[in-house]
Structure 1
Amino acid sequence: MLYPIRRAGSSAKKHTAIWLSMVLIGSLLTACGANNGNREELPGNPSPAASAGGAVAEKGNAPTLERTVKDELGHEIKLPAAPKRIFAPYLEDSLLKLGMKPVAQWSNGALGHDYLQDELKDVPKLDLSGGLPSPEVLLSYSPDLIILHTATYAANGLYENYSKIAPTYVFNNASGEIEKSLVTLGELLGKSSEADRALKAYEQKVKEAKEKLERATAGKKVAILRFAAKGVSLMGANYFCGYVVHQHLGIAKTKLVEKENSATVSLEVLPQIDADYIFVINAYGQGTERMKEMMGSPIWNGLSAVKQGQVYEVSDKHWLGSGLIAYEKIIDDTVRLIAK
């Protein structure tokens, strides 16, 4: 704070007053600088810039935080302080868990993540059935952060083109370990506390579900059959619903996928499915004919699970989803169908 200098009766007094004022101003500025330094470097309470590996820059009275991070492919990117316009195809589930919506959502043709449409009804769909959008199309959505959920999305020069539009973070495979990728998303978007709350709530849900399922699934096995246009496959334990049922809920899987993440199923292979329960998924409604063909065969009707009436068709809408919202719905279905 500056005080008015009182006029002195002599030149000497005037010079002295000016000199004292300059000393006072210098002292105040030094003290302010020291206080700022102490606030940023207190032990155990580092500045945001130090924590994130970036630097705090001030524009007028609005401080911003520039963070430099590396993605899972080793790209070094600079993140905006608080990214709001996010393009993250196939990560919509996790974004919603963090309380955010993307600028555009993934879709296969006109079909998006059906189980998320109540929350995403106002978000435009982008058809990714033929690949990711061109840089020109993406630029029209003005993203300030691009997040690609798998390394294959970044191939063929797409990363280089996208990174010219906005900082672009690439996962190796965000669908493989949703908990880990949710934590990373929380860090990128400044939503770590939201990610932590979501994971704790999910852990509690898993715990309660396992207690309900314990008696019904002890010593039993589950098979998850996916009927699609191109064929029939048995889903393993590394992704999507298989990850939830086998790893989170701890229900044993058939021997056909003990070491593999999936297995092609034909009438010849069908007798090897040693499962007490079978979950059936008609992928995007394109497996109807194959379901009729296989389920009408004597081989199918000779399976133990079929004889016991323990075959259940479940919704492809969330059983093929990737994120905690989908996982919670899968848990609800599993408990409802098995823990009777």
Structure 2
Amino acid sequence: MSKFLVHAKSGFMARMSALLCCVLLGSVLTACSMKEGEAEPIGQPSSANVAEGSAAADENSAKSSGERTITDELGHEITIPAEPKNIFAPNLEDSLLRLGVKPVAQWSNGKRGHDYLQEELKGVPKLDFSEGQPSPEALLSYNPDLIILHTQTYAQNGNYEIYSKIAPTYVFTNASGNIENSLTTIGELLGKTDEANKALQAYRQKVKEAQEKLKEAVGEKKVAIIRFAHKGVSLMGGQYLCGYVVHRDLGLGISDLVGNENSASISMEILPELDADYIFVINAYGQGTERMKEMMESPIWKSMTAVKQGHVYEVSNEYWLGSGLIAYEKIVDDTVRLLTQ
């Protein structure tokens, strides 16, 4: 082979090597520019498409897992597990138990929880609300997967934001009145709709039978519920707790002094205006003893028609201030027993 051919071949190989180096260098530069945010090659999946696909996959995964997105009574949209297991619902323990569910922790005032539920809540730790709502750290230790707040006041002052970071949080405007509505909702949240329906059906039957007995014994006469507490004395209206049971469910007459209000303050001066033939008295958590003694020993109290006729009954603060079907059933029983004897 001539020297010319050898040199020509060598030159050709050198040019090919240089061209290959340029191609490789161009590929590296293209990859680098893509990392810096330049357009991706046509025909390749874009990062936006990948993100959309990931979001769609997450949505499909949520649907397949049975998660549900619902809106609470304050307008918060939340996603909850198909069947939540670790429930924290302060002051709704009664409703949970009626559905066969134990909460991870229970409401308490100091060391005292809802006395009438303690047998069923045996072993359930207490969280103290006496000085405000418990710290996020305290609640986190129970690992809740659903939080239910029985009133919107529990969600105020930034508390909702704190709770919702711990677990999906459903808020009632006020679950302490119409238990039929709140229990139905809780049943839906927990996947316990059948249990809720059965419990409500039994309660409605109980109320119907009680109404028939009370109509014959009481008729159109009025009933007052007076609550003695450390902050004062109040006449309970028909919007919540025992007042809802007595005046709304059982349909017993209510004093004009409270009318459609949640409650009305009672003092010695306006006591003679109390238009009631029967009076239920509640010593709230044993903190109204002094006020109760002072009022009931007064000549004004003793001059009232209901008092003269022996129609004053002290009832248990344990469940007359309770919120749930267990408490409501006990209130119905007490009302029938005391007013038909």
Partner of 1:81: 82
Q: In 2, Cα distance between the equivalents of 1:251 and 1:263? A: 18
Q: Secondary structure at the match of 1:69?
A: strand
Asked whether the 8 Å contact 1:279–1:312 carries over to 2, the reply is: yes
Partner of 2:67: 66
Asked whether the 8 Å contact 2:239–2:260 carries over to 1, the reply is: no
Partner of 1:214: 215
* 1:57 has 2:61 as partner: yes
TM-score when scaled to structure 2? Answer: 0.81
1:242 alignment partner AA: G
Moved more, 98-107 or 73-82: 73-82
Partner of 1:238: 239
Q: Secondary structure at the match of 2:176?
A: coil
2:113 alignment partner AA: G
State the 4+ residue runs in structure 1 displaced beyond 6 angstroms.
none
Q: Secondary structure at the match of 2:319?
A: helix
Pairwise CA distance, 1:58: 8.4
Partner of 1:116: 117
Q: In 2, Cα distance between the equivalents of 1:274 and 1:67? A: 50
1:137 alignment partner AA: A
Pairwise CA distance, 1:330: 0.3
Pairwise CA distance, 1:260: 2.1
Moved more, 128-137 or 263-272: 128-137
Asked whether the 8 Å contact 2:203–2:329 carries over to 1, the reply is: yes
Partner of 1:319: 320
Q: In 1, Cα distance between the equivalents of 2:155 and 2:290? A: 35
Partner of 1:186: 187
Partner of 2:155: 154
Alignment size in residue pairs: 284
Q: In 2, Cα distance between the equivalents of 1:154 and 1:108? A: 19
Q: In 1, Cα distance between the equivalents of 2:266 and 2:196? A: 38
Q: In 2, Cα distance between the equivalents of 1:235 and 1:207? A: 23
Asked whether the 8 Å contact 2:105–2:124 carries over to 1, the reply is: yes
Q: In 2, Cα distance between the equivalents of 1:336 and 1:259? A: 26
Pairwise CA distance, 1:57: 3.2
Partner of 2:202: 201
Gaps of at least 5 residues in structure 2 are: 1-57
Partner of 2:168: 167
1:192-249 residue CA offsets vs partner (Å, 9 max, x unmatched): 0111001100000000111111111112110100011111111111011110001111
Partner of 1:276: 277
2:181 alignment partner AA: K
Q: In 2, Cα distance between the equivalents of 1:58 and 1:172? A: 28
Asked whether the 8 Å contact 1:279–1:311 carries over to 2, the reply is: yes
* 1:134 has 2:138 as partner: no
2:61 alignment partner AA: A
TM-score when scaled to structure 1? Answer: 0.81
Moved more, 161-170 or 317-326: 161-170
Pairwise CA distance, 1:95: 0.4
Q: In 2, Cα distance between the equivalents of 1:170 and 1:199? A: 21
1:156-191 residue CA offsets vs partner (Å, 9 max, x unmatched): 221112111111111111113211111110111000
Q: In 2, Cα distance between the equivalents of 1:169 and 1:108? A: 23
Partner of 2:250: 249
Partner of 2:45: none
Asked whether the 8 Å contact 1:71–1:171 carries over to 2, the reply is: yes
Partner of 1:258: 259
Gaps of at least 5 residues in structure 1 are: 1-53
Identity among equivalent positions (%) equals 72
Q: Secondary structure at the match of 1:198?
A: helix
Q: Secondary structure at the match of 1:202?
A: helix
Asked whether the 8 Å contact 1:226–1:233 carries over to 2, the reply is: yes
Partner of 1:329: 330
1:93-150 residue CA offsets vs partner (Å, 9 max, x unmatched): 0001111010000011111110111100110011111121111111000001111111
Q: Secondary structure at the match of 1:57?
A: helix
